[in-house]
Amino acid sequence: MKIQTLSKTKFILHNGENLPASTLGYTDSGLASAELITSDYFLIRQTGTGIWHTMLQSKKVASTTVEPGARLLIQLINRRKKYRFIRSSNWRLRFSLYHMNGEEMLALLPRVNWQKESHDFILQLNEEYEKECDSFLILQALHCANLCLSMMNGGKVPVLINI
């Protein structure tokens, strides 16, 4: 699979045959809402402080929450699974999605694309989790990477507590 960056707010995930498998498109530059299209049409909306819900026909199917240390937790409600999304602390930027048992499932390596004012991403999948890493989960991880990059580059930083 390969991720193609079309613009600052539009990303396409291609499957092995280089056919578009799914898309992630933000409706605003603040990343508060997005459309995630696989075989179904999902809406991602920021619903609270550091919380985004993914909806399918007004039913919540996933939740993304920012935790202390810029870690993100992805919870897939219909699959009853949780994943942790972490940014590396090394000199080379790397985002990783971990299964709750601690094994890395996928990695996203961002590279600045100055012309599109965005990032291109290299996707690395763990072969053991290839079946679990469907296009929906990969684009959820891409959404988390975009949130982290926005926070790192001076975008809106979701506070972790309400005052």
2-152 — its CATH code?
2.40.160
The pTM of the full predicted model, rounded to 2 decimals, is 0.89
* Sequential pLDDT tens for the chain (163 residues): 899 999 989 999 998 776 677 999 999 888 889 999 998 999 999 998 889 999 999 899 999 998 887 789 999 998 899 999 998 877 778 999 999 899 999 999 999 888 888 899 999 999 998 888 899 999 999 999 998 888 777 666 554 444 4
What percent of the chain has a predicted confidence (pLDDT) above 70?
Answer: 91
Q: What is the pLDDT of residue 109?
A: 95
Let me know: does 53 contact 36? Beta carbons within 8 Å. no
Other beta carbons less than 10 A from residue 18's beta carbon: 10
Tell me how far apart the alpha carbons of residues 17 and 157 are, in angstroms, rounded to a whole number.
Answer: 37
**What residue spans define the domains of the chain?**
2-152
- In the structure encoding, which two tokens stand for residue 101, read together? 């048992």
Tell me how far apart the alpha carbons of residues 74 and 60 are, in angstroms, rounded to a whole number.
Answer: 13
Q: With helix as H, strand as E and coil as C, how does 38-105 read? A: CCCEEEEEEEECCEEEEEECCEEEEEEEEECCCEEEEEECCCCEEEEEEECCCCCCCEEEEECCCCEE
Rounded to the nearest angstrom, the gap between the alpha carbon of residue 74 and the centroid of all alpha carbons in its chain is: 9
- In the structure encoding, which two tokens stand for residue 6, read together? 């079309």
Tell me how far apart the alpha carbons of residues 154 and 88 are, in angstroms, rounded to a whole number.
Answer: 18
Residue type, 75: Q
Q: What is the DSSP letter of 112?
A: E
